[in-house]
Chain A
Amino acid sequence: MAKKKIRTSQEVNAGSMADIAFLLLIFFLVTTTIASDKGILNILPPKQDPNQPPPEVELNERNIFNILINANDQLLIEGEFRTTTEGLTEEIKTFILNFGNPDEDNLALFNSLPASLRAMAERSPESSDYPGSGGAVVSIKTNRGTSYEIYLEVLDLVKRAYFEIYGERVGLTADEYRALTGQTAAEKELIDRGKENIPMAISIAEPDKTGS
């Protein structure tokens, strides 16, 4: 009978495996930048034809929510001097949802709003006519010396007012509404229903050149 072979251990020593993996892990930890393609979306107006002056849009003063920011980052909101942006979102929401002088379409819009938004809707004749197109517009005007940070902060708050309204119309929070991607039909329907007849009318004026 043949002699039994003396077998050496077949196992690979895996003790240092963790060390190797650690090394790789640390390499990827250092080189990684988790992609952040997030931000505030803004659609710029189409370019101006130099031969054609921009069309005169007649808007009533009461339909415009004026936000001016000067080079010292001070705010002038609807003619009122401010140093902070506190409470701006709520003001804009009441402004947008004001039905001062609604036409037939916007009366229908008013009736379609959920009760919570209808409770917010006022009928003050001094504020905007209606939320629909041709009605309420939020205008942001900056100076060339205004800091980018405060501009984004204000734009952020204005967007928030709109998203809160959109979200509330479809029974979501603003965060949930923004997270909708529109890739499925159901999500697309929610998005459309949220912003139906309430366009996001944010006008960003060319900054002033003076005083910078």
Chain B
Amino acid sequence: MAKFKKKTKADTNIPTSALPDIIFMLLFFFMVTTVLREQDLLVEQKIPQATQLQKLQKKSLISYLFLGKPKNTSLYGVEPRIQANDVLINTSDILQWVNQEKDALSEAERDQITISLKADRDVKMGPVSDIQFELREADARKLMYATVGKVEE
């Protein structure tokens, strides 16, 4: 009987000594890009899509207003509500809120305040225009409709 020669096996082990380095690299990437959620959202947020996005340079000048249907419908109802910081506010409170936000900025930057309106896509124009009216009253006229990029076909 012919004897089969035993095949010399190649070393099949993948060197994993560089794995921690790769993982660390990913880790640092996410650590740097991450923004820990500052606030709990009390309203639904499905941000609409658009193509002509512009990016704002100075983040410190941006204040956020959230608009959408409350998540806790048994407590707040189903009509769209406005959230500023951590609470739901009424349209009439916007003026005061804008002034608070303006106070947090330095004197020179006060009139450059930008409001980023993060409105749910199911919201109607009624509440949006109410907000716009209040912002005009508060003299915070730079408004940004927060949108996410749309992939063009």
Contacts and interface: CB of A to CB of B under 8 A. Distances in A.
Same complex: yes
Interface of A: 14, 17-18, 21-22, 24-25, 28-29, 31-48, 142-149, 151-153, 155-156, 159-160, 163, 174, 178-179, 181, 183, 206-207, 212
Contacts, number: 157
A163 B53 CA distance: 11
A156 B132 CA distance: 18
B20 A14 contact: yes
B82 interface: no
Nearest to B130: A144
A25 B23 contact: yes
A78 B90 CA distance: 36
Contacts of B89: none
Interface residues of B, number: 53
DSSP class of A's interface residues: helix, strand, loop or mixed?
mixed
B48 A148 contact: yes
A63 B148 CA distance: 32
Contacts of B51: 156, 160
A40 B128 CA distance: 14
Nearest to B51: A156
Contact of B124 (A21, A25, A145, A179): A145
DSSP class of B's interface residues: helix, strand, loop or mixed?
mixed
A171 B24 CA distance: 42
Contacts of A149: 48, 121-122
B142 A32 contact: no
A32 B52 contact: no
Contacts of B149: 38
Contact of A22 (B17, B23, B37, B123): B23
B35 to A, nearest CB: 5
A145 B143 contact: no
Interface stretch (B6-14, B25-33, B70-78, B102-110): B25-33
A144 B124 contact: yes
Contacts of B55: 37-38, 179, 181
Given A160-B51, A178-B53, A178-B54, A152 B147 contact: yes
B88 interface: no
B86 to A, nearest CB: 16
Given A25-B26, A178-B52, 15 more contacts: A18-B19, A21-B23, A25-B23, A28-B30, A31-B34, A32-B33, A32-B35, A33-B35, A34-B33, A37-B55, A39-B53, A43-B143, A146-B124, A152-B48, A178-B54
B136 A45 contact: yes
A143 B143 CA distance: 20
B5 to A, nearest CB: 35
Contact of A38 (B31, B123, B143, B146): B146
B125 A146 contact: yes
Contacts of A14: 17, 20
